[in-house]
Amino acid sequence: MLAYYLGLALRSLKRNPVLTGLMVLAIALGIGASMTTLTVLYVLSGDPLPGRSADIYYPQIDPRDMNGYQPGGEPADQVTWIDGMNLLRAHRADRQALMTGGSVPIQPTQANLDAFYADARYTTADFFPMFEVPFEYGTAWTAADDEHRARVAVISRKLNDKLFGGQDSVGRTININDADLRIIGVLDAWRPDPHFYDLYQGTYGEQEDVFVPLSTSRDLKLAHNGSTDCWGNGAPSQDKLEQAPCTWLQFWVQLDTPAQATAYKAFLVHYSQEQKTLGRFQRPPNVRLRDVMQWLDFRKAVPDDVRLQTWLAFGFLLVCLVNTVGLMLAKFLRRSGEIGVRRALGAARRAVFEQLLVEAGLVGVAGGVGGLLLAQLGLWLVRRQPADYAKLAYLDPVMLLVTFALAIGATLVAGLLPAWRACRVTPALQLKS
């Protein structure tokens, strides 16, 4: 029966090519606009650690002075060196990583390569297992390397390709800021989006090319170029940040159960009370413990303009569907005579209704194809924008299926009223006319 209905629908659509074209165009424009913005929103709001983000937390405490204090306000976004080290050495979490970002000068040994700067991450050993960073060659450094300020480095696959032609470079050296560091690992392809662990280096920025132990980075005076928030006597020089009243480091912990998360939050409150007793903290204990997705939502990782564009695009799709309803209503009611003859010959009202819905679904398929092409064009235009997330705007298989499902589903919904009105025509009146 479906094949029969498809044949009838094709013949009907061919009889009115202009009206059919208008319906397909309306659906295609609405689907193209909505899927372009929905794809961008889908990419930007994705989980950077699928299956694990609920176990990774970003602790916040408030070591600032009373200047600007508001009860119940948000604590500092980052931690000081002293607090970061205290929390790190407390070992109250399954895994924990203290880190910041910077840019380092690299002097290649190859004569055909000039010196250049590369983005770097200064962190502690648990960074790699906690975030499940994949390795192509070698491995990460250990907690002992952190303690002994080892001159070691992990580099990205991209940097390894540039410096060593993609070969296994473990054991070789890389010159960073006039110091030779031994390469102990090369990362495999890895780019979490958003750049959740340090939103101060760009929410959707490129992955760092060099990873160095945090303690080693301070010995080598590697430049820190992230966010620094100081109070009291103002911002000190970079080589005095360890003792300065400044928050400039990110601290992440892994807590595998809700009970551990509750206990860790209580520990943060106790730590804040202890530091206030010692005179370091002036404000009452004020802590937060958000997991990855909560942290991204709090920091508004998805730009507000992207959400607004998505709502506007779906509003445009609704307008297109209303126009399609009108076009279908006009098309189906013009066939009242044909429908009346079918009813008089014994066709059930349900059969007529199903036939017209099949025709609406066929329009949806054609509109989905057109909408897919327009969405691809829209995403190509998005990738030409200067925004740091623009390069991520690609239609993956999931969104491809959503495009066709939305096109067909929306057209079927749009066809319900016209099909219902058309199948309720009185056969006797149509036969008399």
My answer on whether 72 and 194 are in the same domain is yes
250 pLDDT higher than 90 = yes
306 and 245 belong to one structural domain = no
The reply to whether 161 and 100 lie within a common domain is yes
Q: Which of 238, 265, 298 is the last residue of a domain?
A: 298
Q: Do both 24 and 93 map to the same domain?
A: no
- 274-293, pLDDT tens digit by residue? 999 999 999 999 999 999 99
User: In sequence order, what DSSP letters do the residues of 189-205 get, joined into one string?
Assistant: S---SS-TT-GGG-TTP
More confident residue, 99 or 386: 99
Residues 139 and 178 in one domain: yes
Asked if pLDDT for residue 133 goes beyond 60, the answer is: yes
What integer is the mean pLDDT of 36-49?
Answer: 84
Rounded mean pLDDT, 198-222 = 87
284 DSSP assignment: P
Q: Which of 47-56, 152-161, 178-187, 286-295 has the lowest mean pLDDT?
A: 47-56
Q: What does the pLDDT average to over 402-413?
A: 80
Q: Give per-residue pLDDT as tens, 62-91.
A: 999 988 888 888 999 999 999 999 999 999
Q: How many CB atoms lie within 10 A of CB 174?
A: 24
Does position 259 have pLDDT exceeding 60, yes or no? yes
What are the start-end ranges of the E strands in 327-389?
none
- Give the C-alpha distances (Å, rounded to integers) separating 395 from 49, 96, 344, 367: 20, 35, 49, 17
Query: Domain of 178?
Result: 53-298
Six-digit token string for 10:
């094709």
Cα 393 to chain centroid distance, Å, stands at 11
pLDDT at 8 over 70: no
258 and 135 within one domain = yes
- If asked whether residues 20 and 77 sit together in one domain, one would say no
How many Cβ atoms are within 10 Å of 291's Cβ, its own excluded?
A: 18
Q: Which of 268, 298, 328 is the last residue of a domain?
A: 298
The answer to whether residues 179 and 272 belong to one domain is yes
Confidence tier at 345 by pLDDT (50, 70, 90): low
Average pLDDT of the residues of the chain: 85
For residues 138 and 147, give the distance between their C-alpha atoms in angstroms, rounded to a whole number: 20
pLDDT value at 245 more than 70: yes
Return the CA Rg of the chain: 30
Helix (H) or strand (E) run with residue 153 in it: strand 152-155
The answer to whether residues 22 and 67 belong to one domain is no
Name the most confidently modeled range: 256-270, 323-337, 350-364: 256-270
Query: Hey, which residues does 101 pair with through a beta bridge?
Result: 121
Per-residue confidence at 4, pLDDT binned at 50, 70, 90?
A: low
> Is the pLDDT confidence value at 339 over 60?
yes
Average pLDDT over residues 219-242: 82
Residues 310 and 292 in one domain: no
**Which ranges constitute the DSSP H helices of 185-302?**
214-219, 258-277, 292-298
What pLDDT is attached to residue 180? 94
Q: What distance in Å separates the CA atoms of residue 10 and residue 361, rounded to the nearest whole number?
A: 11
Q: What angle do CA 98, 99, 105 make, to 5 degrees?
A: 150
With both helix axes pointing from N to C terminus, report the angle between 349-383 and 2-15 in degrees, rounded to the nearest 10: 70
What separation in angstroms does the CA of 33 have from each of 46, 79, 314, 366? 20, 43, 8, 16
84 and 100 fall within a common domain: yes
- Helix%, strand%, coil% for the chain, nearest 5: 50, 15, 35
What's the domain count of the chain?
A: 2
User: Which one of 279, 298, 317 terminates a domain?
Assistant: 298
* Cα–Cα dist 36/24, whole Å: 18
What integer pLDDT is reported at residue 407 of this predicted model? 80
CA distance 124 to 146: 6
Please give the pLDDT value at position 433: 53
My answer on whether 422 and 363 are in the same domain is: yes
Percentage of the chain beyond pLDDT 90 is 42
